[in-house]
Amino acid sequence: MRGGIVFLPADAGLNHRRTLRAADHMKPLITGTSGFNSPYQGRIEYDTSSGPIKGDFMKLLEEIPTSYVVVENHLVAPVRRVDFETFLARAVASGRLRYINHFDGHTDLYAVTKTEPDARSEAPMPFAIEIREWASLVQEDPINLLGEYRSLSETLYRIYLASYGTMPRYADFLRDAVALGRGVFPGALEDQNAKIEANLQEWSDEWVQRPAFRALYDGASDAEFVERIAANAGMTLSNAERAEIIQTLGNGGATRGRTLIALAKNERFRKNEEIRTLVLLHYFGYLHRNPDDPPDGNLNGFNFWLKEVESSGDPGRLQKAFTASSEYAERRKK
């Protein structure tokens, strides 16, 4: 070995546990600590803590230098799997990482080729190297509603609420999320915002033509439309805000679909619905159902978690609880 070993995922608790492993293996373990965190360890934790793992992290591994990267898949949060797989796929495809093998039923070993050019693969990659669009990832596992493009999921939720005054249902929401995710690629090296906005605009034109929407609003004036969607959203618009929106609709500066998108992105609306949206997306992502579907049969569980997060101020409790639930464990077995 010409360099050290990096274990992923990396955080303070896991890195303390790995200190003994460094002594056992008699190899330099970069993500092991016994009290003092090195600058390298801090960078590794920061670069991999949340969201997409950027290409700069690969550069860091090469500079340390790192010989091998060990990914303990069972310790990667479900919502982060795509982030890790996307990074690994890009690094392998570019030749900067080389997949070696799978061990212990859950651990993958990769060589950093700049440091260990002679390392050889012993097995095929455990997942596809090609980068997949968000639409197909959501179809495969709705946990991706909570991933990199969670803000798009949240915007979709608020469009439903502003339109109908009720939370969306799982099957309907999933179908619309897939439509919005066409051509959007998690972990993309280029900015995906333009594509997301184009998808939203196109989708909103179709949304306002749906029979359920037209039955509610076709006979409404622009002023009535604005009043209704604001009421559904639980928002009180100022006279100036209301007048501006109505005027823009009236002079053709915006369609009703674009108006819904603008309202869904309103910061007050987003903040008011932040916790409720997050709880609902956990039901959709982890349990693949509506909150009042069996075995619940009512919204007691949903309301419980809503109060828990509101009172604790800790949204992280949701991921821990849903991941540890027996329902999630049973669904994962299927």
For 22-59, what is each residue's pLDDT tens digit? 545 556 778 876 666 778 888 999 999 999 998 899 99
Instruction: Please tell me whether the peptide bond between 124 and the residue prior to it is cis, using omega within 30 degrees of 0.
Output: no
Query: What is the predicted pLDDT for the residue at 136?
Result: 95
Query: What is the predicted pLDDT for the residue at 44?
Result: 94
Q: What is the pLDDT of residues 105-141, one digit of tens each?
A: 899 999 999 999 999 999 998 887 788 899 999 999 9
Name the pairing type of β-strands 66-72 and 97-103.
unpaired
What average pLDDT does this structure show over 142-161?
96
Quickly state the pLDDT bin for 282 (edges 50, 70, 90).
very high
Query: What is the predicted pLDDT for the residue at 267?
Result: 95
Q: Which residue bears the tokens 């439509």?
A: 179
3-state secondary structure at position 97: strand
Query: What is the predicted pLDDT for the residue at 307?
Result: 96
Taking the mean position of all CA atoms in its chain, how far away is CA 243?
Answer: 36
Using the Cα atoms of residue 141, residue 144, residue 98 and residue 92 in order, give the sign of their dihedral. Answer: positive
User: 3-state DSSP helix/strand/coil percent for the chain, to nearest 5?
Assistant: 60, 10, 35
pLDDT over 80 at 19, yes or no: no
Query: What is the predicted pLDDT for the residue at 225?
Result: 97
pLDDT over 90 at 14, yes or no: no
The mean pLDDT value of the chain amounts to: 92
Is the overall model pTM greater than 0.85, yes or no?
yes
What is the number of other CB atoms lying within 10 angstroms of the CB of residue 46? 11
pLDDT over 60 at 21, yes or no: no
3-state secondary structure at position 332: helix
CA distance 321 to 331: 15
CA distance 101 to 108: 6
Query: What is the predicted pLDDT for the residue at 190?
Result: 74
What average pLDDT does this structure show over 195-214?
96
Query: What is the predicted pLDDT for the residue at 333?
Result: 79
Query: What is the predicted pLDDT for the residue at 331?
Result: 87
Q: Which residue bears the tokens 């619309």?
A: 176
Residue 109 backbone phi and psi in degrees, to 5: -115, 130
